[in-house]
Structure 1
Amino acid sequence: MGGTVTQLWRFFIHIQQPLWTCKGSVGKEEIKIPGKLHSDLEAELFLWRPILAGKATMIEYREGAWTLDDILKINSLLTMQDDIEAANVPKLK
């Protein structure tokens, strides 16, 4: 029963504090990307990034197939890949 209560508690917290805010501004802060992650989820982004990129799965994480060192390395490689792609995009004049 404790897990269900915890899940419900997190659900209601996320309603009050959305994990993603649509484009525009948050308070007085101007947003340069189409939206902004809630700070709690932003702190976990290094864990979610390999999953979102299709390099890891939740099952692999839960089974312990990835170490923290592995996750940090794949994040560095994904950043490198993003930087290389950005450098090769033709600049608009």
Structure 2
Amino acid sequence: MKRIEPDLIILDIHLPKFDGIYYLRLIRKKYNLPIIILSARSEESEQIRGIELGADDYITKPFSMGILFAKINAIFRRKIQSSILEEINIGNLVL
């Protein structure tokens, strides 16, 4: 996290060793950056849990790339509106 300094994290819940909720908690302890959860778990209780633990959005699988990009754009739009002077880095692209 320190080396890459991401502007947004897309976090899957089903990960080897530890689940995404574990990583969500770790990230939230130190960082305040947008996190979108991707999960095959579509139960309302799971979605609420993810949001309450700090995710900014929760997308269930299967999903379309259009939905994912629209949600990412909405997060960046809010981020830009709240801090016009802040740079946003997406790979090699700087906004």
Between structures 1 and 2, the one with greater helix share: 1
TM-score, with normalisation over the residues of structure 1?
Answer: 0.36
Between structures 1 and 2, the one with greater strand share: 2
Greater C-alpha radius of gyration: 1
TM-score, with normalisation over the residues of structure 2?
Answer: 0.35
